[in-house]
Amino acid sequence: MAALMRHGGLLKRPPFGALVHRFATKAEKKKGIDRKQPPKIYAAQQSLAAKGFLRPYEAYTPPEDANERLDHIFREVMGATDGGTRIGSLAQKFDLCAACAKEFNRAIPNSVLHSIQTLNDVRNFYQTTVDDVTPLDKMRNMELPENLHVQYEYYRFHPDSDKLFKGQTAFNRESTLVTGLKYKNKYKGHTERQEWPFTS
């Protein structure tokens, strides 16, 4: 109780929903992400780029006539096409997002909705290409240097099928478990039996 007391009163918690800033990680600093700045429309994409191969969004390529189609939607819903026009009410925002999702067959995700404040934000979202191919898969269609070889299908040891060293593995007394549903039928797992006392 004494730890919670300061100057004769209880410490106050921040209000519910208050934005709490945290320090940027090393990966985020390399990518130029500043946690002190307010979130922008590309904050989610920058954060994912700093984390690695995570790609939660579906692939999207903006059509060539995206600007004209967006202008038509803006006139119908908002009555204006100026990019600086702010979306005033939640009803307008819902109608605008629903019309854009129907036109482009791509809805604005919940993680980005809070950053959609003006018509320019909507335009930038639907004009941004989303690539869901991981860097490893991109290398399949790249011309690699002669001294670089990528093994896309990894090799898994099993003592019953690998007889090069008489079934002896470099990792004694360690099991090779296949836990992923994708590779359950492709790779055979092996559970190493523990014997006591150890003979080797």
Q: What type of residue is 57?
A: Y
Highest mean pLDDT among 2-16, 30-44, 126-140, 146-160: 126-140
Least confident piece of the model among 10-19, 43-52, 74-83, 103-112: 10-19
DSSP per position, 132-183: ---HHHHGGGS---TT----SS-----TTT-TTTTT--SSTT--B----TTT
Q: What is the pTM of this model?
A: 0.52
CA distance 178 to 96: 47
CA distance 83 to 71: 10
Highest mean pLDDT among 92-106, 151-165, 173-187: 92-106
* Strand spans (E) along the chain: 5-6, 9-10
> 60, 93 in Cβ contact below 8 A?
no
Residue appearing with tokens 């003592």? 159
Q: What percent of the chain has pLDDT over 70?
A: 67
What does the pLDDT average to over 167-191?
76
CA distance 12 to 185: 55
146-161 pLDDT, tens digit per residue, is: 998 888 877 777 777 7
Beta bridge partners of 5: 10
Q: Could you tell me the domains of the chain?
A: 25-134 (1.10.1200.10), 150-193 (no CATH)
49-96 pLDDT, tens digit per residue, is: 565 555 567 888 999 999 999 999 999 999 888 988 899 889 999 999
> Residue 14's pLDDT band (boundaries 50, 70, 90)?
very low
CA distance 177 to 181: 12
Q: How many CB atoms lie within 10 A of CB 39?
A: 14
Nearest to 31, CA basis, from 48, 12, 9: 48
